[in-house]
Structure 1
């Protein structure tokens, strides 16, 4: 009995030390001192973000998609169209893993929407059209939802989107991939 008690105390002590060590390590490694910025600097940062966002929106409106790329949507399978939408969301969302990129343009969104609308056999048609509807107006606030809904339909297990990219992150993504 004494032997078991000693083992229990040793095990309990070891686990306690380990847990405390992990807590100290975890909290200590992520602690950052708050950065103080002036109102002027904050306004400058906000203006820069607004300018970048405007540039991203202008890119959506003015970037042309080659006619042959738009034409391919007419013969794409339903799964391929979903994959195309999935790849488009990568421009807008943060996810640990992203495979593939397709630039979001007004022409592309309108063509994909029209093709889904035409297809009588498109699984989840109403859901996908509802999700893409704001995109027709240039509103991508639901991009995380679109990504994760399509990802779920495709039985995704890796790369769930967690948040929208900031305008600056999106600009970097556009510059890198397109």
Structure 2
């Protein structure tokens, strides 16, 4: 009986330890260059806006003093973390990937706002963000899977690498599924 209790205790500790390691490694440990701010920033990062964004919603965000993503961060305070999250989330609309976390609809107002923010901030990967956003502003999404993966790599992605570009029908279904 003592052996059975010992084995059970050992297995329980092993499972709890492995679970703790997974939580630490994949949930609470930021990427090498991921910026971690206040608890409010962390809560904001955990929230996900899903579905399409309407002109009415964008107007409501503006009236409430929020940015086009519905958040409080002004353009002149954007960090690499914000650019990675917003660009990555927008790219999900158009890319094939095994897993997708987060979604922001691609909208010209959002792209313009992010580009304007680049002129007001000093971020590490400024040229990459600019190259991607300028293409998207010109409605060139021919390399959006590569754009996604460039940002995904900066975020030290391990799951959800883009493997292609959705067809217009697949993109519409994806957006509809987010409503």
TM-score class, shorter-chain normalisation, is 0.5 to 0.7
SS at match of 1:69: coil
Note the C-alpha offset of 1:146. Answer: 1.0
SS of 1:94 mapped into structure 2: strand
Gaps in structure 1 of 5+ consecutive residues: 1-59
Q: Does 2:175 align with 1:174?
A: yes
Partner of 2:110: 108
C-alpha contact 2:98 2:160 (8 A) present in aligned 1: yes
Deviation (angstroms), 1:81: 2.2
Runs of 5+ consecutive residues of structure 2 not aligned to the other structure: 1-51
Aligned to 2:120: 118
Offset, 1:63: 4.3
TM-score (norm 1): 0.60
Structural RMSD (CA): 2.0
> 1:118 is paired with a residue of what secondary structure?
coil
Please tell me whether the aligned partners of residues 84 and 151 of structure 2 are also in contact (alpha carbons under 8 angstroms): yes
Residues 23-59 of structure 1 deviation map (CA, whole Å, 9 limit, x = unaligned): xxxxxxxxxxxxxxxxxxxxxxxxxxxxxxxxxxxxx
Aligned length: 117
What is the CA–CA distance in structure 1 between the aligned matches of 2:176 and 2:74, rounded to whole Å? 25
Instruction: Give the distance between the partners of 1:117 and 1:162, measured in 2 at CA.
Output: 32
Runs of 4+ in 1 over 6 A off after TM superposition: none
TM (norm. structure 2) is: 0.60
CA distance in 2, matches of 1:134, 1:76: 20
- 1:144 corresponds to 2:145: yes
User: Which has the larger share of helix?
Assistant: 1
